[in-house]
A and B are shown apart, each in its own frame.
Chain A
Amino acid sequence: MRKALIQGLIIIILFFSTWYIINRVDWMKVFRVEQATKNTEEKLGELFWDFFNRSETEIEDQYVKEVIDSLVAKLCSENKIDFNYIKLHILDKDEINAFALPDGHLVIYNGLILATENQEELCGVISHELAHIMLNHIMKRLVKETGLSVLISMTTGNSGTEIIQETAKMLSSSAFDRNIEKEADIKAVDYLIQAEINPAFFANFLYRLSYHDINTNKYLTWISSHPESRERGEYVIEYCTDKNAGNKPVLNQNTWETLCEKLRN
């Protein structure tokens, strides 16, 4: 019995040490898993963006695009984010909404830009979405909610358009779970501080929108899909109190006002 037990133990040790040794090799590189994941993400990004591009109108005004681009560029450069990876799209829609899609697609609705009172508030929302992109929240959520097999079938064209539509809608109009949202908010605050933008403006935006009655205002998608905005505003303030955040506006007041004027028209 003792001999069998020792031999059994040796087999278990042998199994785990084989696993440990094999684990030393970077199989992700050998099997090009990361490249395959990247390709899947690119295809999904294209697929979902195509859906919004077909159903909504993208604002093509060069001035509007350049101004928002400059805000994104500032946040990216100060936080070592590859600006070329971020694909900014501004959609002409009254909804107060912004969301991220796979492969760095960042979608902002006209309604959200106009709902912000200043560029710092808008930077707060952009930072939050950038955090979702950089923390890979979108792909993790897609895998969690639709499953890898469905995602792969989408990219290979074996999935119906209804599934693509439903998934795209889910990405644009429902929040991540509470912990993920908090993680994105905290990261957003770090991005803002690094870019010398005071996060208090972002907290203020959250507070302000939390007072709106989301049941009577169908345009408040970003807030209705991000519950507990008041609580979020509170922890944003709490997190940045001892961070000594300065504030250097990216745009001059005139540029910001012209942007709002153009969007209103």
Chain B
Amino acid sequence: MIKTGKFVYEPGEHEAEKASNSYLMSLIAVIAGLPFPIVNLIATVIFFIANKKGTYFVRWHCIQALLSQFSLFFMNSFAFWWTIYILFGEKTITNNFMAYLITVFFFNLLEFIATIYTAINTRKGMHIEWWFYGNLTNIFCKA
């Protein structure tokens, strides 16, 4: 699921730090954003905008972090609004709902672990490409 390799050039210390921070940004946002899924996305979007004119390595990892947040955003938003409808609306707790929450938790956990791993290794200057998100980033991010 995660491919470790060399980038097209050797990133400098400063670049590695910034690229690693793009993942840390989404991690910090996960903690604050658990009840509000949009917070994660906003945090990574802000970091991406701030580094839009950064080096290729920094931009690449900012985009990968941002794209990975997109899918989580949809999953978590659905879980969030479903819960809100149960608490304040006419929906009731069903097995389907519980299964969805567990699935979303599982996917969030996977993303969380992958983010920590990527943040650590990117800081070392290594290039980490995620399955699907890596390919997608290659399409969007040009040198």
Please give the residue numbers on chain A whose beta carbons come within 8 Å of chain B beta carbons, in ascending order.
1, 3-4, 7-8, 10-11, 15, 18-19, 22-23, 25-28, 31, 33, 37, 140, 143-144, 147-149
Contacts and interface: CB of A to CB of B under 8 A. Distances in A.
A144 B135 CA distance: 46
Q: Summarize A's interface: helix, strand, loop or mixed.
A: helix
Interface string B45-83: 000000000000000000000000001000100000000
- The size class of the interface chain B forms with chain A is 20 to 34
A11 B132 contact: yes
5 contacts: A11-B132, A19-B103, A22-B106, A27-B102, A28-B93
B81 to A, nearest CB: 15
B87 A149 contact: yes
Contact of B88 (A10, A23, A148): A148
Interface of B: 71, 75, 86-90, 92-96, 98-100, 102-103, 106-107, 131-132, 135-136, 139
Given A8-B136, A28-B94, A149-B88, 10 more contacts: A4-B132, A7-B132, A18-B107, A19-B103, A26-B95, A27-B98, A28-B98, A144-B89, A144-B90, A148-B86
Contacts of B132: 4, 7-8, 10-11
B9 to A, nearest CB: 23
B135 A11 contact: no
4 interchain residue pairs of minimum CB distance:
A27-B98, A7-B132, A144-B90, A23-B99
Nearest to B107: A15
B89 A15 contact: no
A1 B135 CA distance: 8
B102 A143 contact: no
Nearest to A9: B132
A147 B87 CA distance: 6
A15 B110 CA distance: 12
